[in-house]
Each structure stands twice: as structure tokens, then as C-alpha cells.
Copies of this chain bind each other. A is one copy, B any other.
Amino acid sequence: MGGPRFEPVRTVRAYERIVEQVEEAIESGALCPGERLPSERDLMGQFSVSRSTVREALRVLQARGLVRSRPGDPNGAEVQPFSPAALHKSMTTLARVEELSLGELVQFRMVLDASANLLAARLRTDEQLAEMDAAIAAMRAAVEVGYDAFSAADIAFHDAVARASRNKLIQICTDVVRSIVLGLVSGKIAAAADREALMRQSIGHHEEVLAAVRAGDGPLAARLSRQTMYDYYVGYVPEGERPALRALLE
């Protein structure tokens, strides 16, 4: 007691140091998307490590979506603009290994979408309202065309709302969770017998939501959007999980 406090030393792999340095350069803005890293053979000189080590570092950076390399490219790896791909990947993994249920995913979408609508009702611009109008028109036109077109228009509507919320985190999480949900149920929806009735009902609901957003009534828009999503997906959620979804509807 009373002696000097020793901290456990942590052996840091060489490739991790490289990852840290490059990551820092990218996140600090010293390296911008589109710029190129030196070639692997240059980097081994700069970092004084072997090419294997450089490559392992690049693999990690690539897995995180920060850089991308292409064989034969006379330049080095290209710094990528941020994309939610890595986020999407880890959330998809989460959904699989943690066995996220469809109910939880839909519930999360209800939370995000309702918040987006709440904010959009207050912050939306006229252009964004026009986008939402256009998306609903596209949904209506798509009923005759098929489910894929309908789904695309539906996505466009929710994206417009998410953008109108002016919160990037909401936009990105909405996007990620939606694609996971659609991956689970889109096949079932496309095969549903009452698909067309479901689409027409959904369009009506979206119109009500949009009216509330246009009127600036955030709480109403939020409540309607929760109900819309509940009605659209409840048929695919197991009975046992439905009470948790209904807990989000007043």
C-alpha cells in the first residue's frame, strides 16, 4: 500500500498502431474522402513494418469502411466517404446473434419514425413537404405496378420525413433498421394475398400522417405514424410480441 500505482501494460500490436494513426488522420480531416493512401510498399517504409502488417491494418480499416482498395490501381487505397455500411453490418450481426425479434425491430422503427415525424412537423421545409407528396403519389401509382415499386415509394416517404427531422442519427438508424426489417418480411408481404388492400390502407394512413406534418401537429403525426407502422407490420409479428408494440400506441 502506498507504493507507486502501476498500470497494467497492454501490448499493442503493430497493425493496431497503424490503424490508429490512419483512423486519426481520417477522422481529424487530414485525409479526406477521395484522397489516396500511399501504396502498401510505401507504407511499409513509412511505418517501418513489413507488408503483411500494413495489409492487416488496411484490412481492419477496410472492414470499418474507412478505405477501399482495388487491385491494379496505380494509386493506393482510397479514403471512403462515411457510409453506414459498417453500422449496418454490425447491427445486422446484432440482429442475428442476439436474436433480435421482429417485434423489437418494428418497435424500434416505430420509435424512430414517430420521433422523425414529431420533429418534421415542426422543422419541415416546403420542398420536403413536396417530396412527401410526390412519394405518396408514387405509392398510389405503384399499387398497380407491384410491391417492389410500392416499397420503394414508401421508403422514399419515410426518408423524406427522416431528412426533415434534421437529425442525421435518426436518418441513418431509420435506414439501417428498415433494411433489416424489410429483409425479414418483404418476401412475406410480396406473397400476401391481401397485399393490395394492405397497400391501399397504408396509403390512406400515410396521407393522414402527412396532413398532420403539414399542419405542424407533431404529436398527432407521431401518433399516426406509430399506428401506421403497427397496422402495416402487426400481421407478421408473433402474437406474443404484439402487446409490447401496442404499448407504444396510447
Q: Is the CB of B172 within 8 A of A94?
A: yes
Q: Is the CB of A250 within 8 A of B219?
A: yes
8 contacts between A and B (CB under 8 A): A23-B93, A56-B56, A60-B62, A64-B89, A65-B90, A66-B93, A84-B94, A118-B247
- Quick one: which of B55, B93, B166 contacts A56, CB cutoff 8 A? B55
- A87-115 vs B, CB cutoff 8 Å, 1 = contact: the mask equals 10111011011101000110110011001
- Docked Cα-Cα span, A140 to B23, in Å, equals 40
Q: Is the CB of A108 within 8 A of B63?
A: no
**Overall SS of chain A's interface:** helix
Report the nearest B residue to A94, measured CB to CB: B82
A143 at the interface (CB under 8 A from B): no
Q: How far is the CB of A170 from chain B (nearest CB, A)?
A: 7
- A42-62 vs B, CB cutoff 8 Å, 1 = contact: the mask equals 000000000010011001101
Q: How far is the CB of A166 from chain B (nearest CB, A)?
A: 6
Report the nearest B residue to A172, measured CB to CB: B94
Q: Is the CB of A244 within 8 A of B123?
A: yes
Report the nearest B residue to A107, measured CB to CB: B167
Besides the contacts A104-B168, A107-B167, A122-B247, what 13 more A-B pairs have beta carbons closer than 8 Å? A23-B93, A27-B97, A56-B56, A56-B59, A60-B63, A63-B64, A84-B94, A86-B86, A107-B119, A119-B244, A119-B248, A123-B247, A219-B250
A218 at the interface (CB under 8 A from B): yes
Q: Is the CB of B97 within 8 A of A90?
A: no
Q: How far is the CB of A56 from chain B (nearest CB, A)?
A: 5
Q: Is the CB of B82 within 8 A of A93?
A: yes
- Docked Cα-Cα span, A96 to B168, in Å, equals 12
Q: How far is the CB of A174 from chain B (nearest CB, A)?
A: 11
Please report which residues of chain A, range 106-150, place their CB below 8 angstroms from some CB of chain B when the two chains form the complex. 107-108, 111-112, 115, 118-119, 122-123
Interface centre among A93, A169, A248 (most CB of B within 10 A): A169
A213 at the interface (CB under 8 A from B): no
A26 at the interface (CB under 8 A from B): yes
Q: Is the CB of B66 within 8 A of A108?
A: no
A177 at the interface (CB under 8 A from B): yes
A100 neighbours in B (Cβ, 8 Å)? 168-169
- A1-22 vs B, CB cutoff 8 Å, 1 = contact: the mask equals 0000000000100010000000
Q: Is the CB of B26 within 8 A of A97?
A: yes
